[in-house]
Amino acid sequence: MIYIFLSHDIDWRKAGPPISHVMDRKERFHEDLLKYGHSRNLYYNIPEYMEIEETFGVRSTFFFRTNVKNSIHPPLPYLVEEYEDEIHSLIAGGWEIGLHLDPSSHEKVDAIRNEKNTLESVTGVPIIGNRVHYTMNCDLLYHNLMELSFKYDSSPKFNKELIVPEDFGYFIKGNLIVFPITIMDAYAFRYLIKKENEIIPLFNKLIDMCGELPLEKQIITVNWHGCVLKMKMGRQYKKILNYLTSLENVNILRGLDLIGLIEKGIL
CA distances from 28 to 38, 45, 186, 198, 228 (A): 16, 16, 12, 16, 9
CA 182 to chain centroid, in Å, comes to 11
Please report the DSSP string for 10-75 in residue order. Answer: E-S-TT-S-HHHHHTTGGGS-HHHHTTTTTS-TT--HHHHHHHHHHTT---EEEE----TT-SSSS
Which residues, at least 6 apart from 64, have a Cβ–Cβ distance to it below 8 Å? 10, 80, 83, 87, 97, 98, 99, 100, 119
Is the model more confident about 2 or about 40?
Answer: 2
CA distances from 259 to 3, 94, 129 (A): 12, 16, 10
What integer pLDDT is reported at residue 39 of this predicted model? 60
Is the model more confident about 115 or about 18?
Answer: 115
Alpha helices in the chain (DSSP H): 19-23, 31-34, 46-55, 84-93, 109-123, 139-147, 185-187, 199-211, 237-245, 255-263
Is the model more confident about 27 or about 109?
Answer: 109
How far is it, in rounded angstroms, from Cα 251 to Cα 200? 17
Choose the most confident range, by mean pLDDT, from 12-26, 62-76, 78-92: 78-92
What integer pLDDT is reported at residue 105 of this predicted model? 96
- pTM for the model stands at 0.97
Contact 165, 210 (CB under 8 A): no
My answer on whether omega of the bond before 75 falls inside 30° of 0, hence cis, is yes
pLDDT band for position 112 (cuts 50, 70, 90): very high
What integer pLDDT is reported at residue 215 of this predicted model? 87
Q: What is the dotted CATH code of the domain comprising 2-263?
A: 3.20.20.370
Percent of the chain with pLDDT over 90: 87
In a 3-state reduction of DSSP, which class is residue 229?
coil
Query: Mean pLDDT over residues 248-262, rounded?
Result: 97
Over residues 22-64, the pLDDT tens digits come to 878 888 888 777 766 566 789 999 999 999 999 999 999 999 9
Percent of the chain with pLDDT over 70: 98
What integer pLDDT is reported at residue 37 of this predicted model? 57
Which residues, at least 6 apart from 48, have a Cβ–Cβ distance to it below 8 Å? 229
φ, ψ of residue 63 to 5 degrees: the values are -100, 120
- Of 105, 48, 104, the residue nearest 237 (C-alpha): 48
Annotated domain spans of the chain: 2-263
Q: What average pLDDT does the structure give for the chain?
A: 95
pLDDT band for position 83 (cuts 50, 70, 90): very high
Over residues 158-187, the pLDDT tens digits come to 999 999 999 999 999 999 999 999 999 999
pLDDT band for position 67 (cuts 50, 70, 90): very high
pLDDT band for position 223 (cuts 50, 70, 90): very high
- Of 172, 169, 191, the residue nearest 180 (C-alpha): 169
What integer pLDDT is reported at residue 36 of this predicted model? 62
Reply yes or no on whether the pLDDT at 118 is more than 90. Answer: yes
